[in-house]
Amino acid sequence: MSDCIFCKIANGEIPSEFLYEDERVVAFRDLNPQAPVHVLVVPKDHHENFVDDVPAETLASMERAVAAVTRETGIAETGFRCIMNTGAAAGQTVMHLHMHVLGGAPLGEGLIPS
């Protein structure tokens, strides 16, 4: 999609440092980190969210990206949280599927922020 910021980042139109890249996804650090490690895993193809006809191969690449990034940043051992905000009420602000990967500090137990 021409006006989508994550399409531009994932396809190299906006130069970014990738922690992981394969033919279907990239991973890069969040602009506004909420934890010492805060990485976004983003498909190269545009899907609005997790339930927008995402091919199984893309989901598999996202899983590989999470495994690689958490290993590389040292949080595979200590633990991490994956979040996919879906829709405005859930706090999704960029309408291109992305998974937040957070770790590097205690994250608290709650699933739903107050």
Contact footprint for ligand DGP (CB under 6 A): 5, 28-32, 40, 85, 91-94
Of 21 and 30, CB closest to ligand DGP: 30
Look at the alpha carbons of 82, 85, 86, 89 in this order and tell me if their dihedral is positive or negative: positive
DSSP 31: S
- Amino acid residing at 34: Q
Q: How far is the CB of 109 from ligand DGP (least distance, A)?
A: 21
Q: Catalytic site residue 47?
A: no
**C-alpha to C-alpha distance for 80 and 66, rounded to whole angstroms:** 10
Of 77 and 113, CB closest to ligand DGP: 113
Could you list the active site residues? 98
